[in-house]
Structures are given as structure tokens and as C-alpha cells.
Structure 1
Amino acid sequence: MQRLFVMFPDRGPGIGLLWLRLCLAAALCTPGTHAGGWSALCLLAAAMLMLGVLTPLAVLLAAVGMFAQQAPWPLVVQPLALLMLGPGAYSLDARLFGRRLLGRRPPPFG
């Protein structure tokens, strides 16, 4: 999964990515935008985006849900920007699939 993301930026860029994920989740939860049976898909994608878990899947679900609801064009493209940037350091993806040091031995006992 780490190959899907270039990096997990922290500080300013990480907060910006967190804000982007939260704004996208809020756009998915807006009342009156759930036409047909797409509300469950949009709410699932919003929950995944808020937590930052499995972000590529959540972004694809969000894009499909917004396209099916005939959302305005900028809102349909916003998930694709998040797909290209990655989830950021303040997400569960960073904790689960973050960078690891290779070749490092564990400390000895005692």
C-alpha cells in the first residue's frame, strides 16, 4: 500500500491534506445531495475520509457517489486531487502503511 503514496507529509502540508479530507467528507454529508440509493455509499466514503483509512478506495467511492448524484464539476474533481496527493501524516493510512526503516535490528534484551 505504501507504493500508492509518494510520502506522508506532516506539519503544514499534512494539515492541508487533513483539511482537504474533512472538507470532502463534509461535501459528501451535505443534506439534500443524496439522490437515489447513493447515500450509504457517500456516508461510508465520508467516514473513511475523516479517519484517513484506505484513502484510495474512499476517494474512488466519493468520486463515483458525487458523479452519480450529478454534483457540480469542481466537487467531482476534488476527490481526484486527493487521490494524487495521498492521505498525509495525520491519517490512519500513515500509521498503518507509513514508512519503515529497513535493515534495522531490534534492540538487544536487557
Structure 2
Amino acid sequence: MATPIDGVIDGEDSALIKADQRFLNGVVAAVHIRDLTGRPALDIDGDEGPKTVKVRQFWLYNTQAPAILGRGARVEDFDGEAGPETTNLHQHALNLATARSGRY
């Protein structure tokens, strides 16, 4: 994700979260981001707030949940809180990714 190895994943200006926000804006259609957040794209601000988490959940539950959970996405999956199930899906997606693969 082209982030520096600086030991910072969260906070108000995380390079990792900025990279994730750019990725999500590229793989989730603007209409879905608008439905989830009220705006056509995530701000690239490095803050992992509920809007970023909701869009990530949308992507994860639509791409990873069928293989991991044996089901598709449900509206209640997009709550903006990175709980254990969301974290497990996120880890699965990250483990499938390779550098410059576009998969994450």
C-alpha cells in the first residue's frame, strides 16, 4: 500500500489509512460510497473514522464474506465499527494481497 513503516496505523494522519482510503475510493463505486457516507468519495485524511470503516465493511463483506463466512453482505454489516468479524475479513483480504496486485 506504499505506506512508510513508521509504527502508526491509527491516529489522525495515518499513511496506512490514507492508502486504504485511496484504495477504497478506487474499488467501491461512488454511488455506494454516497449511500454509505453521504459523499461520493472518502476524504483522504488518514483518520479511520466510521465512514472509512463503513466503506471498508462494504467492500469486505461483498468480496470476502462469501468465502469466509459462507454468506453475502447484509445491511447490518455496515455499522462503521471495526469489530472482530470485520477485522477477520480485513486480515483475510490483506493476506491474499501481494505488492501491486490491486487486490489490496
- Structure 1-normalised TM-score? 0.35
The structure with higher relative contact order (CA 8 Å, sep 6+) is: 1
> Which entry has the higher C-alpha Rg, 1 or 2?
1
